[in-house]
Structure 1
Amino acid sequence: MTVTPPEALRTAGLPLTDLAPLLADQPDPLVFATVSGAHLYGFPSRDSDIDLRGAHLLPAAALLGLDEPEETRTTADDSDGVERDLVTHDLRKFARLLLRRNGYVLEQLTSPLVVHTGPVHAELTALAPGVLTHHHAHHYRGFARTQWRLYERTGELKPLLYTYRALLTGIHLMRTGEIQAHLPTLCALPEAPARLPGLIAAKAAAEHGAADPALRPTAEAETDRLHTVLDEAEAVSALPDAPSGRAALHDLVVRARLAG
């Protein structure tokens, strides 16, 4: 079931390749699949891969026997020179990841670029606010540091933009309780560097393009400042200390599993 109109996919920079064969080539029912990665973040290049993420539903028998089930599954293909990969977790594992202050799965769940959905996806999305805590700041802080080290090592623009994106997403989440992964939208935050739109445009021209070496001292100062802003936003955030939605997630997983 494809729910994002083709024009919206085109606006997001996605080539309109047929995703149906990749989605159909799954041994268990999909709960949902959305577009993640650079297309979700708002700075894809012409040669960017299409990263699909989501959840599937294992049959109850797979969890009751002696063998450990395959809870995470990866499928990939290539269409017209565009690499696409679909990574899904069983619904139980996905729910557990949601409860572990995991920003990745939250972004995948709430991505507006939906290519497959259904009632369980809708209910799961409605439960997302119940897993948010101020501790999610740790995820975005850590991701930003990892990407900054990659930028220092490679000098590429992509990890630099990932650094800015992670910090601004974390700041926005701490202030509003809303997951916003789209960097062009986050440019509206008062702390966002004014040069970001130009860097996004440069990234669109080449997936592995190099950043101007002269940019590094300024970028370091900007990211240090954004780390401070994130720390301050976490300290005063209205988000709770622990998730409140565990019981509701448990109930959803049980109902979905029994319904098959």
Structure 2
Amino acid sequence: MNAQVIDYEKLQKQVDAHPYPLVFATISGAHLYGFPSADSDFDLRGVHLLPLEQVVGLDGPECGGEDTVEKEGVHDGLEMDLVTHDAKKFFGLMLKKNGYVLEQLLSPLVVHTTPEHEEMKAIAKDCITKFHGHHYLGFAATQWKLFPKPHLSGDGPPRVKPLLYVYRVLLTGIHLMRSGEVDANLLTLNETAKLPYLDELVERKLAGPEKGRLDEADIEFHEREYERLVAELEAAMATSTLPELPTGKDALNDLLVRLRVSNRGTEVAT
């Protein structure tokens, strides 16, 4: 497989140029999911800290500070998409059934970290509930609805890439419901799931556009697999021993207060 090599030094330059102090920055997207092509862009995700004065005074984030920072483009020859949230916004998302932010937080592809990042990772286990399964069911359903459209619009057979995202989401959800652990890597997930067709799909995706399309005969097979895995995730939710409500709110609140106080008077980069 022609997987892309990660140039952490170049990615670190983008982290260093961020306008606010960062708690962490990790790589998400295809690199985290285990099937990056040679030309895949880099999805950088993380948490930043707005200055204390901007979040407690009359001039809050809506009056100058940015609770979400987005930057995309080609930098140092790397195509990248950087999105970070202020700590308060990110912590709020952690307390909802949002598996996406947990995947970012717990990504093993770390560009920038701090002791507070490690503390957040420890608290994350107390934010996982059985209802995170709804996040993965919903995301999979959305992706599946989009999947056949290129074919129906006359753009040729459906591509392999969206199908890999469908399988990745469903296997992540099933694994989370059964183990309480967040794993977003399709290849490692398949070590347990043992779906014999996934390795071939990944190879076809990495081979490029000319091989990254599905044959007509494949579509019905994958539709049956999609329905089977949806049912498996629903069953895993029903029998999961995960709690119904998160218990990490107090710990996150304590961490947020300490982060705000430690960031008092921090100069914003220019």
Q: Shared topology, TM-score over 0.5?
A: yes
Who is 1:142 aligned against? Answer: 138
Q: What corresponds to 2:40 in structure 1?
A: 48
Aligned equivalents of 1:21, 1:183: Cα separation in 2: 29
| Residue in structure 2 matched with residue 197 of structure 1 by the alignment | 199
Deviation at 1:13, TM superposition (A): 3.0
Q: How does 1:148-187 map to 2 (within 5 A)?
A: 148-154=144-150, 155-187=158-190
Q: Does 2:25 correspond to 1:33? A: yes
Deviations 1:51-107 (A, max 9, x none): 010000111111122341320001223146431121100011000000111111000
Q: State whether residues 55 and 91 of structure 1, in contact with CA within 8 Å, keep that contact through their aligned partners in structure 2.
A: yes
Letter in 2 for 1:205: A
Q: Is the 8 A contact 1:46 1:207 kept in 2?
A: no
Instruction: Quote the Cα distance in structure 1 between the aligned partners of 2:187 and 2:99.
Output: 19
Work out the CA distance in 2 between the residues paired with 1:81 and 1:212.
Answer: 34
| Identity in percent | 51
Partner of 2:268: none
| Equivalence for 1:85 | 81
Question: In the aligned structure 1, how far is the partner of 2:119 from the partner of 2:245?
Answer: 21
Tell me, in whole angstroms, the C-alpha distance in 1 between the residues paired with 2:206 and 2:26: 21
Q: Would the aligned equivalents of 2:10 and 2:76 in 1 still touch at CA under 8 Å?
A: no
After TM superposition, the score normalised by the length of structure 1 is 0.91
Partner Cα separation in structure 2 for residue 35 and residue 174 of structure 1: 24
Structure 1 CA distance for aligned equivalents of residues 23 and 209 of structure 2: 31
Q: Which sections of structure 2, spanning at least 5 residues, go unmatched?
A: 151-157, 264-270
1:8 aligned partner: none
TM-score (norm 2): 0.88
Q: For 1:157 and 1:94, locate their aligned partners in 2 and report how far apart those are by CA, in whole Å.
A: 32
Asked if the contact 1:147–1:159 (Cα under 8 Å) also holds between the matched residues in 2, the reply is yes
Count of residues in Structure 1 that have an aligned counterpart in Structure 2: 249
Instruction: Please list the CA deviations of residues 195-245 of structure 1 after superposition, one character each: whole Å capped at 9, or x if unmatched.
Output: 000001111122693222321100000010000000100001010000011
Unaligned runs of 5+ in 1: 1-10
Are positions 1:13 and 2:4 aligned together?
yes
Once the two structures are overlaid, the 10-residue window that deviates more, 12-21 or 198-207, is: 12-21
Please tell me whether the aligned partners of residues 14 and 50 of structure 1 are also in contact (alpha carbons under 8 angstroms): no
| Correspondence for 1:24 | 16
Aligned mate of 2:49, from 50, 57, 61: 57
Q: Whole-Å Cα distance in 1 between the matches of residues 190 and 107 of structure 2? A: 18
Aligned to 1:7: none
**Which aligned pairs between 1:230-249 and structure 2 lie closer than 5 A?**
230-249=233-252
Amino acid at match of 1:35: I
Deviations 1:104-144 (A, max 9, x none): 10000000000000011010011000000000000000111
Once superposed, what is the RMSD of the aligned Cα atoms? 1.7
Q: Whole-Å Cα distance in 1 between the matches of residues 58 and 102 of structure 2?
A: 30
2:192 partner SS: coil
Computing the radius of gyration from Cα coordinates, the structure with the larger value is 2
Higher mean C-alpha displacement, 146-155 vs 28-37: 146-155
1:133 and 2:129 equivalent? yes
Instruction: State the AA in 1 paired with 2:159.
Output: E
